[in-house]
Amino acid sequence: MSSRRAFMRSGAMALFATGIAGGIPAFITRAAAAGMPPAPYKKNKVLVCIFQRGAMDGLMAVTPFTDMELKKARPTLFMDPTNGAGKLFDLDGQFGLHPSFASLQPFFADKRLAIAHGVGSPNTTRSHFDAQDYMESGTPFSKSTSSGWLNRAVGLMGHDASPFRAVSITGALPRSLYGSQEALAISNLADFALQTKGNPMAANLTAGSFEELYEQTSNRLLNRAGKESFEALKMLNVNDIKNYQPIAGVVYPNSPLGNSLKQIAVLIKMNIGLEVAFAESGGWDTHFNQGTLNGVFARNVRDFSDSIAAFWNDMGAYQDDVTVMTMTEFGRTVAQNGTGGTDHGRASCSFILGNDVQGGKVYQQIGSLAKDQLEDQRDLPVTTDFRSVFSGVANKHLNINNNGILFPKWEGKALEILKG
């Protein structure tokens, strides 16, 4: 059995490849030896996961505006579809979408965007670190799980893999992609995660340090494989990346999420075998000055919405093959706090976008927000296990059907949110 070695450069790139016995995939070695870019792979389905780190307020993102208990609990944060300029988008007479989601709202209207509400973990932790770990491992009551749920999903696909099958546009590999399957973490395609934009001297130094990491290994074969991997990865740093132009009319926000999704679009269109992509959105821990039409929440939502909308529109002819799914570790308290924000809660919501999505619907089992109906008399209860959402999307979109491996010890049912 081949072993796996992780080569990581702090703040730069993490490359996960098969180790000594198996070597790196022939795809990379042949391409590196020939000095040519890799040949196109068969076009497969692509699942794009976006983690909203910090815990998004699902009750402000998608508001059950007919529940007056929420209005009482949030005297300065409550919004509804009738309060004039900047009012909520009325989705179904019960739930309203925050106005900063304006760029995503049309996808809900044309039934390509679905929302799962009341989503969360059965583990009641309100620790960001623990909740993210449980969600990304897919095992809410075990800290000993070594692999992430997305890595296990990759392992269930059952066909020949590209080394670029699973890619995270982040500075380090996310917990979701830990495991035995090959995965890449690249923070910037154009310079291979060298976070030294505008500083060629520093970029060269970092690149040299990365190659030195391989030079230091005592195993000659692993050394050669690592250097070939690095050379092959450098093949991606071509004009197709640096001079990439989205579809006419598409403008990505110049933000971390916007740039990440733009790079994922590049990888998809290069036809190099991408099937699972991961990106992050930060800043959702809104304890202070959360705001309504303006403020930190509205700004985050606008960037989040505009980035996803730009990516989706940029997909053009690839849309049939792509599904986007978002997630966040938990929600926020029903009641606002004394500093104009909300604190760590339980349930939040997820957005699922794709041509195979049964959209135009809020999937939910949310009850009254009266205090005596809340979890611990303060939080929106979790009525949909996050694994129901994740499995419902991944199983159908990636054509994998083994929840025993995907989510060990879970006996729940997948949410029927995709067609077919």
Q: How confident is the model over 360-370, as pLDDT tens digits? A: 999 999 999 99
- Count of alpha carbons within 13 angstroms of residue 7, beta-carbon side: 21
Three-class SS state of 149: helix
Residue 198, Cα to own-chain centre: how many angstroms? 28
CATH topology of domain 37-157+237-271+275-406: Alkaline Phosphatase, subunit A (3.40.720)
Three-class SS state of 307: helix
Q: Is the pLDDT of residue 5 over 50?
A: no
Mean pLDDT of the chain: 84
Q: How far apart, in whole angstroms, are the C-alpha atoms of residue 85 and residue 57?
A: 22
- Count of alpha carbons within 13 angstroms of residue 417, beta-carbon side: 35
Q: Is the pLDDT of residue 133 over 90?
A: yes
Domain boundaries defined on the chain: 37-157+237-271+275-406
Q: How confident is the model over 144-191, as pLDDT tens digits? A: 999 999 999 999 998 777 888 999 999 999 999 999 998 989 888 876
